[in-house]
Structure 1
Amino acid sequence: MSQGDERGYGGSEPGGRGEDAYSTLGGTRQTRTRLPGGGDDGDGHGRRPTRNSRSLIMAVGVVVLLIAAIAFANQGGGGGSDGGSSKKSDAAGAGPTAATGTKPVEGKNGTIASGFAHDEQGAQSAAANYAVALGSADMFDKTKRDGILEATHDPAVVAALKADTGKAYSAGFLTNVGLNEDGSTPSGLTFVSRTIPVGTRTTAQGEDTATVEVWCTGLVGMAGQGSTKPVSASWFTITEKLKWVAGDWKIESSSQAEGPTPVNGDNRASTADEIAGAVEGYGGFTYAR
């Protein structure tokens, strides 16, 4: 997982940078769905709940914005908080990401960790790992992207999300970020898209729901001699609304906001070849409390 015209998602919340072209990767709106109550309709019979397909569509749109925003981590809207019977986390203090010593996960879904604990720690671990996946270079390959969406999201929003992200990662969008029209990387160059979580905190927690903020730094660009889109860094916070589905935490909706951003240091900028070598030589992590 935050950059200019390169956002490709159609839509104006959290994608793992630019003009929020993706309504998935870094959208600004958070969707809250209120289930119909069981009140009386006046004739003595309880009102039949009405299905609100519009709410589902809005939720999917928010997720699509986040995915695009993560991919180009620029700026996005603020994240919403979980409604209902949620409560403020006691862990949002001075050291919310301190290690607990508890094993984070039992398995993985492809390359993405899975089997998170049904508690606050598990929700934070899931949110961090999902942010990494949604901000990865694999999102620019359709087959891999669809697999990531299936592994990280509530099945109820996956189908619509695939359609939206498919439109967002158009041939024009891919060439705009320096890739070939089919999403492949030009010869001699290395495409970089990484999201690195710095910390997490829970802002709302229910029995089967959680809202987690993931503070991240991100890298995106093209490394190598002759690159016209050098790798740059950004800072952003992704808010993920999670739901306990089929024994694991899944993203129901998400959003992204810029910062907090530290002051730049005095480090010398590395050459394109040095950056390419680092990306190819250093792997990622499984994130957990």
Structure 2
Amino acid sequence: MSLSDDGGYGDNRGPETGQTRTRLPDSGGDGYGSGRRPRAGVSSRNLVTAVGVVVLLIAAIAFANRTDTTPSGSSDSPASPHTQPTAPTGTKPVTGKNGTIASGFAKTEQGAQSAAANYAVALGSADMFNREQRHKIISTVMAPSAIDTFQTTLDKAYSAGLNKEVGLHADGSTPAGSTFVSRTIPIGTKMKSFSSAQATVEVWCTGLLGLAGSGSTKPVTTSWFTITMKLTWTNGDWKALTHSQTDGPAPVSGDVRASGAEEIAGAVEGYGGFTYAR
């Protein structure tokens, strides 16, 4: 038995000749002579392509991980994305306070939105169920030209019937051993129109209303609503001309366990409110 011409054992191409020939493998093949010699220039082009891909990959990684140490524009104010309707601006929203209600809002869109949010809180507080306190709030947040009309309207709305409906006595007082809860919590504001003299602002809110106490038939519940407030610039501050309210938008209720009356009362008495700012 002899090796064939291709370095393997005999095949069917002819009789044995008694000669043994050895064929060296081509430079591009494997150790058994099965490779084919590539065309001239292919290896060099592949090498250039591979190097180019590696260079681009390194450049892309370097660009993605680079830290820009040279801010554009002012060194104190790097470029920022478009401001969303409820994003904070960092500007101090109010300069004073009238009783428990913020005052001294800036004559800007931000100032108008801050005023609307804070006035929504005041007009939705438990003090509104007390005639004397209600009149103080109205005289603070409303424009002078709107005070009388608004006060008359609300005096009719906050009737003995409404007081009984929310769990209070007819005169607005709270039953012994109970805590009356009425809070408005702004979620966000939206400017509908603005000029140097007037502004219309929408305030999206959630609210708490009810009576926390043993045996209460009017437990504290939540609601969602949107207040639309028209403001006017009067005597160096924003004051409300009109105030209206619509239901929603309301999210789907979560699965948080409802707290007992004592826990709710403790939270209301223990957690104070905020000065709302744009």
* TM, length-normalised to structure 1: 0.66
CA distance in 1, matches of 2:185, 2:83: 20
Q: Which residue of 1 aligns with 2:271?
A: 282
Deviation string for 1:169-206 (max 9, x for gaps)?
22232122211122110000000000000001101111
Report which of the two structures shows the higher radius of gyration computed on alpha carbons. 2
Q: Give 5+ residue unaligned stretches, structure 1.
A: 1-92
CA distance in 2, matches of 1:273, 1:167: 32
Q: Which residue of 2 aligns with 1:272?
A: 261
Alpha carbon RMSD of aligned pairs, Å?
1.2
CA distance in 2, matches of 1:205, 1:216: 21
Q: Which residue of 2 aligns with 1:182?
A: 171
The reply on whether 1:142 has 2:131 as its aligned counterpart is yes
Deviation string for 1:240-272 (max 9, x for gaps)?
111101111011112211111111111001111
Q: Which residue of 1 aligns with 2:224?
A: 235
Q: Which amino acid aligns with 2:227?
A: I
CA distance in 2, matches of 1:220, 1:176: 11
The reply on whether 1:200 has 2:193 as its aligned counterpart is no
Deviation string for 1:14-39 (max 9, x for gaps)?
xxxxxxxxxxxxxxxxxxxxxxxxxx
Q: Which residue of 2 aligns with 1:18?
A: none
CA distance in 1, matches of 2:258, 2:272: 21
Q: Which amino acid aligns with 2:199?
A: A
Q: Deviation of residue 130 (structure 1)?
A: 0.3
* TM, length-normalised to structure 2: 0.69
Q: Which amino acid aligns with 1:170?
A: S
CA distance in 2, matches of 1:240, 1:164: 16
SS of residue paired to 2:113: helix
The reply on whether 1:117 has 2:106 as its aligned counterpart is yes
Q: Deviation of residue 94 (structure 1)?
A: 7.1
SS of residue paired to 1:179: coil
Q: Deviation of residue 146 (structure 1)?
A: 0.2
Instruction: Identify which of structures 1 and 2 has the higher relative contact order when contacts are C-alpha pairs closer than 8 Å and 6+ apart.
Output: 1
CA distance in 1, matches of 2:269, 2:131: 21
Deviation string for 1:91-119 (max 9, x for gaps)?
xx872111111111111111100000001
The residue correspondences of 1:1-289 to structure 2 (distance < 5 A) are: 95-289=84-278
Q: Which amino acid aligns with 2:129?
A: F
Identity in percent: 65
CA distance in 1, matches of 2:197, 2:123: 22
The number of equivalent residue pairs is 197
CA distance in 2, matches of 1:101, 1:276: 34
CA distance in 1, matches of 2:85, 2:153: 34
Decide whether aligned partners of structure 1 residues 229 and 94 sit closer, same or farther in structure 2, where only a CA change above 3 A counts.
farther
SS of residue paired to 2:255: coil
SS of residue paired to 1:286: coil
Q: Which residue of 2 aligns with 1:5?
A: none
